[in-house]
Chain A
């Protein structure tokens, strides 16, 4: 098996496609995964056309050529569905942004390497977002994520590899999925998954792609977000053959943020929903209730607030010192 490792590119370097002949400038590294390296890039316009604003994209440089092409095909399929649905109707903010901009090969250090260009998703991974901005956002973001899944499922696809790394959240709390390497047509075997999030791993069902597979992973995702320690302990402590859904439910019950969602999560884990739409609507209903519930405990200060508090305190201190130095009052 030929394992190709994409060379690490530095910012400022350029990539030109051998077939379509378009050029992109590397701005910075976005992430590195099992099947490629992702960069933030800007399209370099030929013939010095500077009238249009610079467009930013995400560009993934590949690893294994066949797997890479499958991923491109998945994005193509989604783009096609989106186009069909958009024709005739007005396109909104992200409907205008393509899943796949183009796919091409480039030559790096004398080696031909495939790459593709996709929409850039500004934002941070779900776990970073929750840590920075606090669990109040959880219900809202969960609903947004379920809407994304609903769209995929209604069009016959299953995402497969749901995990905290593959969910990006924008500043406004909207979410987008990245890494479509696991995207699988409903009815086929899941193409790529992560052990902890896998229904089969928890002896909770098959690895055939259906909407319930993603909903199950979604449930594990919530556990991972709010009680990673307990999840790790369970996984390490329980024999694989007796690992079961009840282990997940036990962790959920211990977690205050997840309490209102317990019955929802139980249904997701036991594949009891009739559709993703039903699951989403139910989720949104619960989260609206949660937001209107009287608070028992004072809300913990989110870390960004603490930081900004520390920042202002520091500024105050500096200006006092500066003033004191100018006045030289201690010298009398």
Chain B
């Protein structure tokens, strides 16, 4: 299964562990972290922009800073790109394994055109068919309040794109901060694959001033890891650098690579 967290925020974190550190932990657990910064009238600030880029870099994902109108398009594009990227990384890894070489230069891009074509064709199929889970983590600090309708709309749109995939695709939604000090993030929607549950997510929010982005990310990582369903059907071929015991996919790839 492909696993992503998509963080939507409009500014800097101000409580708890550095969000980039939390994102690095996500990456280590095989979860890619994407970040969208929303700007509207005014800027996100140099500091905010740097933090957003930093989180995505540490989380192995993509970051973009956009206005509300571009939100839906950006979210679906990022999710799609990250699926391709994750598979690309896994395939590069396999390639090194098959060729028995660890250099950085061993990548799909350097294969001869014919083989590259075949490998990318299979990668496209995997991108379409591999089960996917995206956990949305939404900053609902005071400044985000006017943007929440656009966020809700974009979630709806993302669900539409996910539903079109052949592979099972599910979405869950969290917001942060929670309603009291040590509640860092709150689940608004458990894994769901259908539209109907997406509307009217953030109706009963009590908006607070803090932005504990780091702790909220950790909360979602824990949710991913202790969710029993997610553990049983974990994909074999996603391999973060730390765990690489028998991936069992060599058969798939050695056919294409001489």
On A, residues with C-beta under 8 Å from B are 1, 19, 65-67, 69-70, 72-73, 76, 103-105, 112, 114, 187-190, 195, 200-201, 206-208, 240-241
The answer on a CB contact under 8 Å between B112 and A19 is yes
A-B contact count (CB 8 A): 62
Residue B40, interface by CB 8 Å: no
The answer on a CB contact under 8 Å between B84 and A66 is yes
Q: Which of B109, B116, B121, B164 is close to A208, meaning CB atoms less than 8 Å apart? A: B164
The answer on a CB contact under 8 Å between B117 and A200 is no
Residue B124, interface by CB 8 Å: yes
Given contacts A1-B62, A70-B120, contact A104 B164 (CB under 8 A): no
Interface size bucket, B side? 20 to 34
Residue interface mask B81-115, A partner, CB < 8 A = 1: 10011001000000000000000000011101100
Additional pairs, 6, CB under 8 Å, beyond known A103-B113, A201-B157, A241-B156: A69-B117, A76-B117, A112-B109, A188-B165, A207-B163, A208-B164
| Binding site secondary structure of chain A | mixed
Residue B153, interface by CB 8 Å: yes
Cβ contacts A to B, 24 pairs, < 8 Å: A1-B62, A1-B81, A1-B85, A65-B108, A66-B109, A66-B120, A67-B84, A69-B116, A72-B117, A73-B120, A73-B124, A103-B117, A105-B113, A112-B109, A188-B164, A188-B165, A189-B128, A189-B161, A189-B165, A189-B166, A200-B157, A240-B72, A241-B153, A241-B156
In the complex, the 10 A-B pairs of residues with the closest C-beta atoms, listed nearest first: A189-B164, A207-B164, A69-B120, A65-B109, A200-B160, A240-B153, A208-B164, A189-B165, A188-B128, A1-B62
Nearest-Cβ distance from residue A198 to partner chain B, whole angstroms: 9
C-alpha spacing A195/B75, complex, angstroms? 13
Chain A positions within 8 Å of B160 at CB level:
200, 206-207
The answer on a CB contact under 8 Å between A187 and B166 is yes
On B, residues with C-beta under 8 Å from A are 62, 72-73, 81, 84-85, 88, 108-110, 112-113, 116-117, 120-121, 123-124, 128, 153, 156-157, 160-161, 163-166, 199
Nearest CB in chain B to that of A194: its residue: B73
